[in-house]
Structure 1
Amino acid sequence: MASQPDNGSRLWRGMRALIFGDDHETTLRDQIEEAIDEAETQRPVRGDLSPHERQMLRNLLHFGDRTAGEVAVTRGEIVAVPETIGFDALVTALAEAGHSRLPVYGESLDEVTGMVLVKDVFAAMQGPPEGRSVKALVREPLFVPESMGVLDLLARMRAQRVHLAIVVDEFGGTEGLITIEDIVEEIVGEIEDEHDEAGAQLLVALDDGLWEADARVELEELAQAVDPRFEDEEDEVDTLGGLAFLLAGHILEPGEDVCHPSGWRIECVAADRTKMTRLRLHAPGEAPVPA
């Protein structure tokens, strides 16, 4: 009597083929997605994949299609310091940013010359004052093209033991920044850390048709909840903060605003010297409030 096919083994073979390569990758991806769809319509079985695990599996199926440019933090959200910064100011910048690494630039952000690690700064703080040279702390950055696939990027970052890469466009300009955490989030979802505001909502509807949003809110989410015309800009930027920066050409200060082609007015509610953090959306036709 012929044995029945082992669906679990077939699924595992499909996963291995997706990760390590196979001539029938597209077909295997479709088969695995169909298996996940079927599982979601059936009664839960003890020991089966949880909804979160199924979502991670879906993310993994399309992980290899993503590029560095698609995953990276956009240029308008990059927190960086000039190479002329003093040591004390560097310590302050690291504390305010809440990041373990910061890019260092020359004349502009298109001239990234290195990066500094908070662990190197802490080590320098324990040494003599004459050893606190910012120039001596700068490490060589990793530059990658925006078209590089995330699988190749992850392999390269692991091989070179770096956790941060600068994404550049075809002209060598800085397009964005990407960390290993950004890559992992493509599979497991958003990773909140101790520097993220607990309980802060990314998008909130206020009275009189106003909306308040975190600068990190995705334009896709904004288009679905507020106005589909916001998604027209998605090819150039991914977040509301990036859109405001693109339209204004600079980081908006609190109280400053800029108009979107759809008529929506984007007002900066909160910002620091390196980025916008909270923005307010005013519906088309609403008159600006006098300063």
Structure 2
Amino acid sequence: MSDSPPSRPPRGDRPHASAARRDKDHRSLFVRLVEFISPGPDTTAELIETLADAEHRELIEPESRVMLEGVIRMAGMTVADVMVPVRRMDMLDIDAPYEELLAQIIEDGHSRFPVYEGERDNIIGVLMSKDLLKLQRAPELNLRTLLRPAVFVPESKGLNELLREFRSNRSHLAMAIDEFGMTSGLVTIEDVLEEIVGEIEDEFDEEDRQSSIFTLADGSQRVAGDALIDAVNEVFGTQLPDDEFETIGGLVAHELGRVPRRGESVDVGGLRFFVMLARGGAVRWFKVTRAPDAAQAVEAG
């Protein structure tokens, strides 16, 4: 007994094959015509130009354009682009006395700290600053019991993927490791978000803003990236040009050909600018000293 053939709709209810092809051809022709008249962007640079044009035509707000550009650029960035290098990390020693730990937490002002044992590369966990207060009420507690697991990510990980991990794991801090498995830096969720929304200010930033230039304990100067070049010249007795740029961050970026990253040093006009903090595509703070050659010339004079 043979199977009955599959049922088909009556001929009158079925669309004519040639009509369907014509509709498809018409839609394809329309799409091709639109793409020919107004082709879409083929590169990231063209997409950013499109956003700028949309802002110019008042289709989007300037703040929206900046955030969208941040999202686009972040897609090509990795942890290494925004992390704090290991030599600049503020860390706590598990064997340090309570008073020393408390003093460092108050001075640095972070909400979370990597904790190491023995060598600085041996990260054993992360301490929430507020958790340290528990030792005041219960001194018998072991500091190790207050540590939270440290998250380790390769420095080559994309920021998009890292942001997803931060959200899924509800973590705010990760340790970056290099290709050899050694600690190379630290990255926070704030570092990632600032690539999108720009710099996120807090109460410590507000205090820093009271002065754009002030002296550090070692005699060097801490200079804000938006400090006026005239102010820097006055402090150091230099003659840095201010005809094209007003801020020292703009001048240093121009001399280098790009915005320097955290941990980099640039010599300009007899001064050495070490990047202490860079966020949102700009330098927030420099540590400024006289370049070695310039310092020797001053001493000789």
The TM-score normalised by the length of structure 1 is: 0.65
1:49 is matched with which residue? 60
How many correspondences in the alignment? 225
Deviation for aligned residue 1:26:
7.4
1:243 is matched with which residue? 264
The TM-score normalised by the length of structure 2 is: 0.63
Determine helix, strand or coil for the equivalent of 1:130. coil
Determine helix, strand or coil for the equivalent of 1:175. strand
1:156 is matched with which residue? 165
Out of 135, 149, 152, the residue aligned to residue 143 of structure 1 is 152
2:85 is matched with which residue? 74
CA distance in 2, matches of 1:267, 1:60: 29
Q: Which stretch has the larger CA shift, 25-34 or 58-67?
A: 25-34
Alpha carbons of 1:263 and 1:36: their partners in 2 closer, same or farther (altered >3 Å)? closer
Percent of residue pairs identical: 30
CA distance in 2, matches of 1:49, 1:227: 29
Matches within 5 A, 1:1-291: 27=42, 29=44, 32-42=47-57, 44=58, 48-125=59-136, 127-131=137-141, 133-196=142-205, 197-201=208-212, 202-203=224-225, 204=227, 205=229, 206-207=233-234, 208-209=237-238, 224-226=250-252, 230=256, 238-239=261-262, 242-243=263-264, 264-266=270-272, 279-282=287-290, 285=294, 287-289=297-299
- The letter for the 1-side match of 2:95 is T
Alpha carbons of 1:56 and 1:78: their partners in 2 closer, same or farther (altered >3 Å)? same
Determine helix, strand or coil for the equivalent of 1:148. coil
- The letter for the 2-side match of 1:140 is P
Deviation for aligned residue 1:165:
0.3
Indicate if the aligned counterparts of 1:233 and 1:243 stay in contact, CA closer than 8 A: no
CA distance in 1, matches of 2:113, 2:250: 33
- Structure showing greater Rg: 2
Determine helix, strand or coil for the equivalent of 1:115. strand
- The letter for the 2-side match of 1:225 is L
Alpha carbons of 1:162 and 1:36: their partners in 2 closer, same or farther (altered >3 Å)? same
Unaligned runs of 5+ in 2: 1-39, 213-223, 241-246, 277-284
Determine helix, strand or coil for the equivalent of 1:120. helix
Determine helix, strand or coil for the equivalent of 1:27. coil
1:202-252 residue CA offsets vs partner (Å, 9 max, x unmatched): 1333233277xxxxxxxxx96850475656995xxx13xx235xxxxxxxx
- The letter for the 2-side match of 1:173 is M
C-alpha RMSD of matched pairs (Å): 3.4
Deviation for aligned residue 1:140:
1.6
CA distance in 2, matches of 1:77, 1:210: 30
CA distance in 2, matches of 1:40, 1:134: 53
- The letter for the 2-side match of 1:122 is L
Deviation for aligned residue 1:148:
0.4
